[in-house]
Amino acid sequence: MKTYFRILSFAKPYNRFLPQYIIVTSLAVVFGVMNFTLLKPLFDVIFDQADATQIARYSEEPQFAMNIDYLIQYFNYQLYAITDKYDKTGALFFVCAIIIVTVFLSNLFRYMSSMIMAKVRARVVKNIRVAVFDHVSKMHLGFFSGKRKGDIMSRITNDVQEVEFSVVGSLKVLFKEPATLISYFVVLFAMSFKLTLFTLVLFPVSGFIISEVVKRLKRNAIETQESLGRIVNILDESLSGIRVIKAFNARRYILQKFDDESKKYAGLVVSMARKNELASPVSELLGVSVVAIILLFGGTMVLNNESNLQASEFITYIIIFSQVLIPAKAISSAFSNLQRGLASGVRIFDILDTQTAIKNNNAPKEKNSFDSIIQINNVSFSYDKKPVLKNINLAVEKGKTVALVGPSGGGKSTLADLIPRFYDPTHGEIAIDGINIKDIELYSLRGLFGIVTQESILFNDTIFNNIAFGIKNAREQDVIKAAQIANAHNFIIQSPNGYQTVIGERGTKLSGGQRQRLTIARAVLKNPPILILDEATSALDSESEKLVQEAITKLMQNRTSIVIAHRLSTIQHADKILVIDQGTIKEEGNHDELIQKKGIYTKLSEMQAM
């Protein structure tokens, strides 16, 4: 129930639609009930059921009053006046015309009420989707390695859709169907108190059976959505890795994985349908049985002249009663759908309730410049249990270049990730100009860094927008200048639409070197005081490496840089070189000093010389 109201809270503000909705829906219900009620006087006239006292009663125009009695009296007065004047055929026309008018009105209002709901539904879904995306994009990096991407994607797409169809769909049921049901019962009670009382006893019994049938749907629904998440995950991995899949002839392997998961999903869907689809036949069977029982009970009453129920009234009663089943069924099927939607709602709120581990403290300090020094004091870090960095101490002075080298898996990238606070150290602290980075406002902290990694992350957008990424109203001449510094301008103007060329998903229409030069141009445009380069040229062939290295050298001018390098030749001139292995600093000094030590660095550089 809590989940339900939380989902509905995304429809706020309610006062924009709720009053309108209630009015329109009430009108739809009233006219809907009215057109069946009109059958009784029709039967009376056609089958000559009315007795003399009745006819006498309806021959005078009634006194005006604001109640149902007056309406009935007035209607009958008109009806009998017409019967007098134009005989029964005239009355038939009259009643049929009124039925058409009421049906028209009830459907008109029903349409209006559905439209209001459609708008609410669209709004709720949009709000939830944006809220989840907003929240996910704020999450710390660890969240994304812990949770699979497919799972997150499936929650934002499928689960939100599930919520849309079931929970928001049930809104309709929440007011309209109960109102319809109650109105029908009011009419039924007015017609025959005893008979209706009898049916009311039957109702809860059948309701209980139906609710038992749909009870255990929830657990199933969660499993189904999880399975769908795994399918999306396989799909996402396969589509982005299609080249590798083909190269390694791994198509069958992947297909098998996809097939297995799809089988599991199909099984879950069937087992869910088994219960879900049972709801409708069971409720129909129960419903018709109830009608039959009433037919029996009421029919006996009429036959034995036990009640004041006339034949016309009894037929109308049965017709109206059979209509009662429609809202009752709608309510029961809404309840069974609701279980699925709520299971999805739980999964969505599960994400929304996960707090990001990296956030501002209570009074964060803005920091828009880097003035003197970055200090890493006694920092240790582990992703889970296994320590990745142990007691690292390091100072990077303004304007200097510090290089991190060492065998892969040693912890270099992890150390670089700690400085812009992608992760927080498990022990120790990092300070910029003497301020602990945990006290610096996150946006301004990240603003101090330009980061270029081995993978060039680009988006399916124009070259211009990829370079100007994150900068509002970037000026064209600045973007072009950045591209020139990054050795990218020449290939950009040779592209079909120049700076407005769309580069495809993840930049697939460009070569590795071109992609990397765009990410460098992006860093140049941002013009940050501190640069972090994590193996920026490792993925490139030597031809494009030269162009990129040139671009990087220009980018590093007049900046403080932390460079992680695979090829030692590129960092020979660094002010300080750290050899990191197994999470600790093993050697430290400039190139010449380290060569003389004849340690790991010497070994690495000898290996590369060969």
Partner in contact with 327, chosen from ligand ADP, Mg ion, none, beta carbon below 5 to 8 Å by kind? none
For strands 373-382 and 427-432, give the pairing. antiparallel
CB of 564 to Mg ion, least distance (A): 6
Min dist CB 566 to Mg ion, Å, is: 9
Q: For residues 587 and 600, is the Cβ–Cβ distance under 8 A?
A: yes
* Cβ nearer to ligand ADP, comparing 509 with 567: 567
Shortest distance, position 145 Cβ to ligand ADP, whole Å? 4
Interacting residues with Mg ion (CB under 5 A): 413
Three-class SS of 487-505: CCHHHHHHCCCHHHCECCH
Return residues touching ligand ADP (CB under 6 A). 145, 383, 388, 408-414
Tokens of 539: 């993925």
560-564 and 530-534: which strand pairing?
parallel
Closer by beta carbon to Mg ion, 427 or else 566: 566
How near is the Cβ of 581 to Mg ion at its closest, in Å? Answer: 13
- The nearer residue to ligand ADP, 43 or 423, going by C-beta atoms, is 423
Q: Rounded to 5 degrees, what are φ and ψ at 561?
A: -130, 140
CB closer to ligand ADP, 195 vs 564 = 564
CA distance 515 to 466: 10
- Omega before residue 496 within 30° of 0, cis: no
Torsion of CA 490, 494, 497, 500, to 10 degrees: -20
Identify what 388 binds: Mg ion, ligand ADP, none; CB under 5 to 8 Å per kind. Answer: ligand ADP
From the list Mg ion, ligand ADP, none, partner contacted by residue 409 (C-beta under 5 to 8 A by kind): ligand ADP
Nearer residue to ligand ADP within complex by CB, 222 or 604: 604
167/574 with CB nearer ligand ADP: 574
CB of 376 to ligand ADP, least distance (A): 14
Cβ proximity to ligand ADP: between 409 and 504 the closer is: 409
CB nearer Mg ion, residue 409 or residue 599 = 409
Distance CA 384, CA 134 (A): 26
Helix (H, G, I), strand (E, B) or coil at 509: coil
Q: Residue 219 has which token pair?
A: 């657990």
Which residues make beta-bridge pairs with 376? 394, 430
Please state, in angstroms and rounded to a whole number, the distance separating the CA atoms of residues 470 and 192.
Answer: 71
Q: Which residue is nearest to Mg ion (CB)?
A: 413
Containing 187, the helix (H) or strand (E) segment is: helix 169-191
- 410 binding partner (options ligand ADP, Mg ion, none; Cβ < 5 to 8 Å by kind): ligand ADP
Q: Among Mg ion, ligand ADP, none, what binds residue 9 when CB lies within 5 to 8 Å by partner kind? A: none
Provide the minimum distance between the beta carbon of 326 and ligand ADP in the complex, in angstroms, as a whole number: 55
- Spatial separation of the C-alpha atoms in residues 413 and 406, rounded to whole Å: 11
Amino acid identity at 583:
G
Shortest spacing between CB 455 and ligand ADP, in angstroms: 13
Least Cβ distance, residue 534 to Mg ion (angstroms):
6
| Residue 411 binding: pick among Mg ion, ligand ADP, none (C-beta 5-8 Å cut-off by kind) | ligand ADP
Per-residue DSSP letters for 213-231?
HTTTHHHHHHHHHHHHHHH
Question: How many residues can be counted in the chain?
Answer: 610
Is the Cβ of residue 550 or residue 581 nearer to ligand ADP in the bound state?
581
Q: Which is nearer to ligand ADP, 70 or 383 (CB)?
A: 383
Name 382's bridge partners: 387
Q: Which is nearer to Mg ion, 33 or 404 (CB)?
A: 404
The tokens describing 158, both together, are: 């499928």
Q: What's the min distance (Å) between Cβ of 538 and Mg ion?
A: 9
Cβ proximity to Mg ion, 310 vs 413, nearer residue: 413
Q: How many CA atoms lie within 13 A of 403 on its CB side?
A: 25
The minimum distance between CB 586 and ligand ADP, in angstroms, equals 12
Q: What is the CB-side half-sphere exposure of residue 490 using CA atoms within 13 A?
A: 6
Give the shortest CB-516-to-ligand ADP separation in angstroms.
18
CB 298 within 8 A of CB 195: yes
End-to-end CA distance of the chain: 69
Question: Out of ligand ADP, Mg ion, none, which partner does residue 308 contact, by CB within 5 to 8 A per kind?
Answer: none
Q: How far is the CB of 578 from ligand ADP (least distance, A)?
A: 11
Would you call 565 helix, strand, or coil by DSSP? coil
SS (H, E, C) 100-145: HHHHHHHHHHHHHHHHHHHHHHHHHHHHHHHHHHHHHHHCCHHHHH
